[in-house]
Structure 1
Amino acid sequence: HSTMTSTLRRLGEDIFKGVVTKGLQDNSFEHSVESKPKTAAFFKSSSLPLRFLSTLIVLKTVTQADLLAQAFDSLCLDLKADEGKNLFLECQAVPVVLSHLKVSSKGLLSSAIDSLLQMTVESRFLQPFLEVCSCSLFFRTCSVLLRGPKLDLHILEKLSIILQKLSKIKSNKKLFELFTVHLMLQEIQRTTHPEHAFLCINLNSTLFNLGLTKCNSLAASANP
C-alpha cells in the first residue's frame, strides 16, 4: 500500500511539474541527431480538459501543501468557465474536493470550499451539482467539519451557502437529520451574533426549508 501511495504521489508531482521527454532521433543523417528535449505540460497545459484532469490528479495524489494550493487556485480559475463546470461534473470531482474539506487542512479548507462555491453560481450546472452533493459522503464530511474546533466565520458563511441551496431539495431533509447537520446548524444559529447577518440569513433560510423554524423577515429575504 505504501509503495502504491508513493508511486501515485510521484505521478502527481510529475503531472504538476511536467515531464521532459527526449527528442526523437533523426537517422537521415550520417550521424544521428537528437532534437532538443521537450517538456510535456499537463497541469500547466493550455488545453482546459487536459489541465483540468491533471489538476484533479494532483489534488488526489500529491501531499505537498504548496502544490495543492496552486492546484486549487487553478481549479477555481477554470471553474469560472462553463466548460470547467461541465468537466467538474463529468470527472466526478466532488469526492476529490471533499477529501480536502477538513479542519486539519486549514490552509486548503477555504480553497476547497471556494471551488465548491464556484459550482453554486446560477447556471445550468447548478442543479446537477446539487444532486451530486445530495449524498452521504457530502453530508458526512460537513458533519465532521461542523463538529470540529470552532470554524472560521468565513468558512461557515461559505458552507452555509451550499447547505442552504441543498436544503431546498426536499429529499435532503433525511440526510440533514441522518448526520445531525440540522442540530449543529441550530446550535450555530443560537450562538451566532446578530451582527453576522449574512450567516444568520443563510442559517434561518436553511432551517426554514427543513421545516425547523418559522419564516421571519431575514429568512424571507434570503435567496428568494
Structure 2
Amino acid sequence: QLLPVAVEQLQWMPFVNAELHMPVIKCIYWSIRQLDTGIQHATMTATMRRLGERIFKGIVSKGHPRAPSEQSTESNPKSAAFFKSSSLPLRFLSTLIVLKTVTQVDYLAQAFDSLRIDLKTDEGKALFLEYQCMPVILSHLKVSSRGLLSSALDGLLQMTVESDSLQPFLEACSNESFFHACSALLRSSKLDIQMLENLCVILQKLSRIRSNKKMFVLFNLHEVIQELLRTTNPDHAFLCINLNSILLNLGLLRSNSLISSLST
C-alpha cells in the first residue's frame, strides 16, 4: 500500500529540501526489500517498474504541481536527481532500487556500471554492507543474461579487494543462496573465461573460511572445481591458480601439487 503513494510523492521531491531526499529513498528501498518474501510482489509489477524508471531518470518539474498553469510556465525548472545524483549515498541507494525494480536491460547495465564504480571506494563498500546488497545482486547472478551477469560479477569482485569490508562481505556470501547460485553458474557451459575467473576469485576467498567447506560439499562444488581444473587449458594460468587454491584450502590438494602447477 505504501509504494504507490511513494511513487506519487516523488513528483514533489524537486520542491523539498534536498536533505529529505535520502530518507524518502531509504524508506522506499527497505519497503521494496520487505516484498522479497511476500506474495504481493507479482501484483506490484507495474508500480515497481514506474518507481524504478522515475528513480533512474530523476524528476524534472517546470512548476509546482499545484500551482496555477500560468505560474508553472513561468517558473524555472526544478529537478531531483536520484540515480544520477552527485551524492554517493543517494546514488548508491537509488542504484539498488533500479536493480530491484526495472527490467530494461539498458537501465540495468547502467546501474551495474554505476555500482561497480562506486564499489571501488571504501564508502561504497561500506554502503554495500549497510544496505545488505547481496540479495539484490543475487537475483542477477543468472546465465540467462550474460551481459548483466558479467557486470554483476565485476561489482562483486570489487568487494573482494583487501579492505575493512572484505570479511563482512565474505560472511554475507557464506550462505546456501549464494553457493546455490555459484553452483548453477559453474555448471553452465555459457560462462566465458573472464566470468569464470571472477567467480573463482570470490570462491577462493570464501574457501579460506573453514566453516564454508560444508557449503562447497553440500553443492558438490569441490567436484565441479576438480573437473574444471582437469579440463581448463593450462594457458589460463590465473584461473588454474585459483582453482588449485580453492582445492588446497578445502584440504583436497597437497601444497606441493599447487607449487608444481605454478611452476609448469
TM-score, with structure 1 as normaliser: 0.91
1:33 aligns with 2:71: yes
Q: Which residue number in structure 2 is paired with residue 168 of structure 1?
A: 208
CA RMSD of aligned residues (A): 2.2
Q: CA contact under 8 A between 1:25 and 1:33: conserved in structure 2?
A: no
Structure 1 residue corresponding to 2:221, chosen from 174, 181, 192: 181
Supply the distance in 1 between the matched residues of 2:260 and 2:249 (Cα, whole angstroms): 11
- Could you report, residue by residue, the CA deviation over 1:188-216 in whole angstroms, capped at 9, with x for unpaired residues? 01111111111111000100100111113
Name structure 1 gaps, 5 residues minimum. none
1:205 aligns with 2:242: no
TM-score, with structure 2 as normaliser: 0.78
Pair 36,189 (structure 1): closer, same or farther in 2 beyond 3 Å: same
- Could you report, residue by residue, the CA deviation over 1:161-202 in whole angstroms, capped at 9, with x for unpaired residues? 000000000000000111111111111011111111111110
SS in 1 for 2:255: coil
Structure 2 residue corresponding to 1:5, chosen from 39, 45, 53: 45
- Could you report, residue by residue, the CA deviation over 1:16-49 in whole angstroms, capped at 9, with x for unpaired residues? 001223534999xxxx834223221100011111
Q: CA contact under 8 A between 2:55 and 2:98: conserved in structure 1?
A: yes
Pairwise mapping of residues 96-175 of structure 1 onto structure 2 (< 5 A)? 96-175=136-215
Letter in 1 for 2:234: P
SS in 1 for 2:141: coil
Q: CA contact under 8 A between 1:205 and 1:219: conserved in structure 2?
A: no
Supply the distance in 1 between the matched residues of 2:65 and 2:176 (Cα, whole angstroms): 54
Q: Percent identity?
A: 70
Supply the distance in 2 between the matched residues of 1:179 and 1:160 (Cα, whole angstroms): 15
Q: CA contact under 8 A between 2:143 and 2:190: conserved in structure 1?
A: no
Supply the distance in 2 between the matched residues of 1:164 and 1:61 (Cα, whole angstroms): 31
Q: Which residue number in structure 1 is paired with residue 127 of structure 2?
A: 87
Q: Which residue number in structure 2 is paired with residue 19 of structure 1?
A: 59
SS in 2 for 1:39: strand
Q: Which residue number in structure 2 is paired with residue 53 of structure 1?
A: 93
Supply the distance in 1 between the matched residues of 2:111 and 2:65 (Cα, whole angstroms): 35
Pair 220,130 (structure 1): closer, same or farther in 2 beyond 3 Å: farther
Aligned length: 219
